[in-house]
Amino acid sequence: MSADLNVLGGARAQAKYVRSTPQKTRRVIDMIRGKSATDAVAILKFAPQAAAEPVLKVLESAIANARVKADRASERFDEKNLYVAAAFVDEGATMKRFRPRAQGRAGQILKRTSHITVVVAPKPVRSAANPSAKAAAATKKRVANTGVQKARVAAGKKEGAR
């Protein structure tokens, strides 16, 4: 998966063995995925979840890594031009602990950990002279649908006239 992340042309940061369950951390990650980096930082600073703090640290580290990467390549760096290209949480090692229970038994406690990965990349630039392929496909589909609708209307009038 790291090969796909390097293609993005961005910078990544990772935190391993974070003492938060992956399920709780994914709720926080889903809030920032696809957002601009500055918006994501603002969202995480005011998020009430405990997992927001380590995710914020990883995001800020990824932004700092992008700055270093741009400096090494002697490129202009603008933090406002970055967005969260990829963000995901993998399950880390699970620590097993035991707690005394009734009648001399022991109950197992699972303390789960997470591996948090955030990738930031510069926003893709779209030129006005070359519209995106998505917009062109939507226009083509709309034109095709109007032709089909006109054919149905014409066929419907012929059937009603019989």
Query: What local confidence, expressed as pLDDT, does residue 118 receive?
Result: 96
pLDDT for 20 equals 96
Q: Which residues have C-beta within 8 Å of that of residue 7, sequence separation ≥ 6? A: none
Q: Token digits for 22?
A: 């992956």
CA atoms of 63 and 32, how far apart (whole Å): 14
Residue that the structure tokens 């709309």 belong to: 142
CATH of 2-125, one of 3.90.470.10, 3.40.605.10, 3.40.50.720, 3.40.50.2300: 3.90.470.10
So what's the pLDDT on residue 155? 72
Residues of the chain with confidence (pLDDT) below 70: 1-9, 127-137, 139-150, 152, 156-162
> pLDDT at position 7, please?
44
Query: For residue 107, what pLDDT is reported?
Result: 97
